[in-house]
Structure 1
Amino acid sequence: MNLEHLKALVAVIDEGTFEAAADLLGITPSAVSQRIKALEASTGQVLVRRRLPCTATDAGALLLRMARQVQVLEAETSAALGSGSSARAHLPVAVNADSLATWFVPVLHQAAGWEDSALDLHVEDQGYSSQLLRDGEVMGAVTSDPVPVSGCRVELLGSMRYVPVASPRLRRRFATMGSVDWAAMPVLKFNTKDNLQQQLLTGKSVRQLPPTHTVPSSQGFLAAVKAGLGWGMIPELQLTDELESGALVRLENGAPQDVALYWQAWTLDSERLNRITAAVRVAAEDRLRPGAAREASGPSRAGYRRQK
């Protein structure tokens, strides 16, 4: 597999079109097309779906991951030999957005001092981020999947705890005998992947969702809960002084949901990959709850919700 052909594959998938890939590589679109065709001929399979944007087939995803690994090793070897360019190598990493807003922040502080690397974050729900590893789009991911993707290693980071909270005014409006009217009280969700609130309501035997507002923003979600638009499951780490100050009230003391998080990364002996793995591990040890706590079943918005 020719290295230049693999570089063309990465460029086409990353840039989305053959023309943009050609601009990136400094060659003609025809040359890019020829390299992709040559790669497909050597593997005997279609690797790129010719659409807007271009995407990798299942076979293409396998080669894409290998191509990215080759690029990482090439950059590190060139740097060790003193013949590499001064350009920073990209570190594509997937992280769930609630993590990005809370315990993952120290990783960003660490990355600020890496003069040889540029962090390329993909924000995705922890229940879906492992797919980015399978597709070859990232080299590491924070995920809720404990089963390692082929060619990857996995380690438990800890658990994020979510608690149901609401504004005091909303709580008073829907107060009943020692509880709240769960079937009537408005609720918030981030998007269609967000099922944390639904899980709690199912436990309350509420089969039909009450009035539901969608707020696809990390800070906006918290602001909407504080404004009384609806109740929601908020990461314990994101609640600073809202409960102490009375800006928010906890709806039930015994209804937290713990979501176990794992770090999956390529089984590649890369200095850059080992560096970010160590940074993620230290940040998680400092902020996450230890151990494999009871997980919320199925994918949730624990990460994807806090995207914007």
Structure 2
Amino acid sequence: MLNHKQCDAFLAVAETGSFDLAAERLCITASAVTLRVQSLEKTLGHVLIVRERPCRTTQAGQSLLHYLQHSRLLEQNFIQTLTGQTAAFYQVNIAANADSLATWLLPLLRPALIEHKITVHFHVDDQSETHHLLEAGLVNACVTQETQAMKGCIAEYLGSMTYRFVATPAFVQQWFADGVNRDALRHAPALIFNAKDQMHTATIQQRFGLNPSQYPHHFIPSSSAFLDAAVLGLGYGWLPDYQAAQYLKEEKLIEAAPDLHLELPLYWHHWKQQSEVLDTLTRLLRTQAGLIMNEPLS
């Protein structure tokens, strides 16, 4: 049998990335956390935590993390179902890309979160990376562009987000007067979400043979600030219809190159066995996500 105190210590280190932060969470000393994790590693015969800054789990540690995260959810659901406790909020951990979180995801989830008293701890990463957080056991489900589900999980298609290649009319006149081509892109400032923004960097690389070191660019790791930067004329970039539609209608932004619009398919990855609460969110996402994804902001 696993020792629950040792497992709690391991879980705290894995989730916070630090023995000191784990100690604060558990209200014990860092040395006590270390002893408990070491005892668990000795019992299981595997190193579970790589002592770095931040700490990270080994392959064996990831397997244990999956198990403990999943068990915690099932236990929480069982207790609430058995006792009929409805006053307490039910917490879920979801990984999503920033654009989904800033646009369609919260309006879609809002009614269910309020009705069923659910709190969400969102983990934000690029849509090409969020499934790694599920694999690491840090979240219960994720929105990702990855099509293949890992063992024990299901991947369900949600819909596709349409992204337009946009800039202000003045920006287009200044930088793309002769069209969007390789030479123009070498000089025009780009808007990139962050270093993981493969949508931008991969498309420019594939279509025009340019990597980020060959053109000026801003890193703006905020969906709302990214939109603001485009409207302010600081650069060109890809914006989802949900954000850009009204600005395109008002001609504050224009499509600099309509042929460069992108369709980003998104999938909902979740465990085959999950709580009733997550089943509720899964059904909602499965039936409604595709309908709301490309609706413009009102």
CA pair 285-68 structure 1, distance change in 2 beyond 3 A: same
Q: Give yes or no for the alignment of 1:21 onto 2:26.
A: no
Corresponding residue of 1:230: 235
CA pair 151-190 structure 1, distance change in 2 beyond 3 A: same
8 Å contact kept, 1:110–1:279: no
Corresponding residue of 1:207: 210
Taking the aligned partners of 1:116 and 1:177, their CA distance within structure 2 comes to 55
Query: Which moved further from structure 2: 252-261 or 137-146?
Result: 252-261
- Displacement of 1:6 in angstroms is 2.3
* SS of equivalent to 2:93: strand
Q: Give yes or no for the alignment of 1:104 onto 2:105.
A: yes
CA pair 86-74 structure 1, distance change in 2 beyond 3 A: farther
Corresponding residue of 2:260: 255
8 Å contact kept, 2:168–2:230: yes
Q: What's the CA shift string for 1:208-265, capped at 9, x where partnerless?
A: 6332222222111111111111111111111141111110111122221111111111
* SS of equivalent to 1:79: helix
- Displacement of 1:183 in angstroms is 3.6
Taking the aligned partners of 1:218 and 1:189, their CA distance within structure 2 comes to 10
When you count helix as a share of all residues, which structure comes out higher?
2
- Displacement of 1:3 in angstroms is 3.4
Aligned 1:1-308 pairs, distance under 5 A = 1-82=2-83, 88-113=89-114, 117-177=118-178, 181-202=184-205, 204-205=207-208, 207=210, 209-288=214-293
Taking the aligned partners of 1:95 and 1:279, their CA distance within structure 2 comes to 16
**Percent identity of equivalent pairs:** 34
Query: Which moved further from structure 2: 45-54 or 196-205?
Result: 196-205
Q: Which amino acid aligns with 1:287?
A: I
8 Å contact kept, 1:6–1:64: no
Tell me, which stretches of 5 or more residues in structure 1 are unaligned?
A: 290-308
Q: What's the CA shift string for 1:65-89, capped at 9, x where partnerless?
A: 1001111111122222328796544
- Displacement of 1:53 in angstroms is 3.6
- Displacement of 1:201 in angstroms is 3.5
Taking the aligned partners of 1:19 and 1:206, their CA distance within structure 2 comes to 46
Taking the aligned partners of 1:58 and 1:277, their CA distance within structure 2 comes to 28
TM-score under structure 1 normalisation? 0.83
- Displacement of 1:31 in angstroms is 4.3
8 Å contact kept, 1:155–1:263: yes
Taking the aligned partners of 1:142 and 1:253, their CA distance within structure 2 comes to 27
Taking the aligned partners of 2:22 and 2:201, their CA distance within structure 1 comes to 43
Q: Which amino acid aligns with 1:258?
A: E
CA pair 71-230 structure 1, distance change in 2 beyond 3 A: same
8 Å contact kept, 2:103–2:242: yes
Q: What's the CA shift string for 1:116-137, capped at 9, x where partnerless?
A: 5421100011101111111111
8 Å contact kept, 1:46–1:60: yes
Taking the aligned partners of 2:208 and 2:164, their CA distance within structure 1 comes to 19
- Displacement of 1:106 in angstroms is 2.2
8 Å contact kept, 1:8–1:32: yes
Tell me, which stretches of 5 or more residues in structure 2 are unaligned?
A: none
- Displacement of 1:23 in angstroms is 4.2
CA pair 114-132 structure 1, distance change in 2 beyond 3 A: farther
Q: Which amino acid aligns with 2:144?
A: T
